Amino acid sequence: MSLLEIENLSVRFRIKGGWGRSAWLHAVDDVSLSLPRGKTLALVGESGSGKTTAALAAARLVPASEGAVRLDGTDLLTLEGETLRRARARVQVIFQDPYSSLNPRLRAGAIVREPMDALNTPPKAERADRVAELFAQVGLRPEQQALFPHQFSGGQRQRIGIARALATRPELIVCDEAVSALDVAVQAQILNLLRRLQAELGLTFLFISHDLGVVQHMSDRVAVMYMGRIVEEADRGPLFSAPLHPYTQALLAAVPSIDRRRRGRSAVKATGETPDPLNPPPGCMFASRCPRAEALCRETRPALEEKSPGHRAACHFPGPSGD
Ligand SMILES: Nc1ncnc2c1ncn2[C@@H]1O[C@H](COP(=O)(O)OP(=O)(O)OP(=O)(O)O)[C@@H](O)[C@H]1O
Ligand SMILES: [Mg+2]
């Protein structure tokens, strides 16, 4: 069974306009995903597509408007009180910016300890040993517990962020652009650390990144978001070598480092305007930018359907690029 099952998750934000008007932004719209234990599902898509909001709603850090988020069969969105607190310990987030996500006034040891105090687990007497263990696990020295965040490099700060995320022995970790703020060499070290920890601790990752090179390195499965919806989802191999949705094809075509030979000859270019998210068109959200769009695409929204086993796409005319 999957560790995480997200079912028909939607998040709406009320956006206030001028003259007292307001509108609803469907930041996440009917997203369903499942994530097996010990695996990594990457969420990709351009800025504003809803990746962070979807992940934070799954972790109950942003209120969902609709849907269910089951962790091991328990719907997190309906929990309250003590059961919610215990469930929260099982899902942790590593944020992009280790500069702003760590409290500058706390010593590193206290930063790592904080979630254990907040969630009251493990017992108090065990917390100091647990902090020491976590420092060793992420490759920091014991005496570094006494230092403040500004005394660390960016990579080391992200190690503190990882230790903190691991403090309550979570099963699911959301990595939201966890290496995006780091130099390439440091990125590789942190990614390797994450993979090692995943193998050692059996962690499950929901891995958000706009860097497809990183995603290709880290993921087992990939979901592509566009304007709040999943437009394609597949295992890493088929997603990179035989993407079906023109939006995915355009994303991949924009990354020179990804092997293009296996993807067909011509690169898909997305031109045209992105629709107004507060006033979405009736058809496919990508139609205005899609080189393959026909009348049907502007009239009817395509459902996310399985086009081949395990490969879902929301497109009326899915297929290889360049046809
Ligand atoms: N608290 C909020 N109130 C109103 N709108 C929000 C809020 N949080 C996010 N949004 C909007 O929801 C949409 C999705 O944002 P989100 O941050 O989830 O995108 P993202 O895919 O993570 O983007 P990025 O790659 O830039 O991190 C955007 O249009 C954003 O402006
Ligand atoms: Mg984001």
> What are the domain boundaries of the chain?
241-323
Beta-sheet strands, E only, within 80-188: 91-94, 172-176
Do the Cβ atoms of 137 and 166 come closer than 8 Å?
yes
* CA 125–ligand 2 middle distance (angstroms): 37
What's the whole-number mean pLDDT along residues 232-255?
95
SS3 content of the chain, % helix, strand, coil (to 5): 35, 25, 40
pLDDT recorded at residue 86 = 87
Query: Which residues approach ligand 1 with their CB closer than 6 A?
Result: 13, 25, 27, 45, 47-53, 210, 277
Do the Cβ atoms of 304 and 313 come closer than 8 Å?
yes
Answer whether residue 79 shows pLDDT above 90. yes
Band (265; pLDDT cuts 50, 70, 90): very low
pTM, to two decimals: 0.93
* CA 110–ligand 1 middle distance (angstroms): 30
* CA 264–ligand 2 middle distance (angstroms): 30
The atom of ligand 1 lying closest to the CA of 13 is: 4
* CA 56–ligand 2 middle distance (angstroms): 10
The atom of ligand 1 lying closest to the CA of 11 is: 12
The atom of ligand 1 lying closest to the CA of 225 is: 21
* CA 248–ligand 1 middle distance (angstroms): 20
Closest C-alpha residue for ligand 1 atom 10: 27
The whole-angstrom distance between residue 9's C-alpha and the CA centroid of its chain comes to 14
User: 44, 47, 53: which to mutate for ligand 1, most atoms within 8 A of CB?
Assistant: 53
Answer whether residue 144 shows pLDDT above 60. yes
Band (323; pLDDT cuts 50, 70, 90): very low
Answer whether residue 255 shows pLDDT above 90. no
Closest C-alpha residue for ligand 1 atom 3: 13
Answer whether residue 309 shows pLDDT above 90. yes
User: 51, 96, 230: which to mutate for ligand 1, most atoms within 8 A of CB?
Assistant: 51
pLDDT recorded at residue 256 = 73
Q: Which two tokens stand for residue 285?
A: 């959200």
Q: Which helix (H) or strand (E) holds 156?
A: helix 154-166
The atom of ligand 1 lying closest to the CA of 15 is: 4
Burial annotation 31-42 (CB, 10 A radius, 16+ → b, else e): bbbebeeebbbb
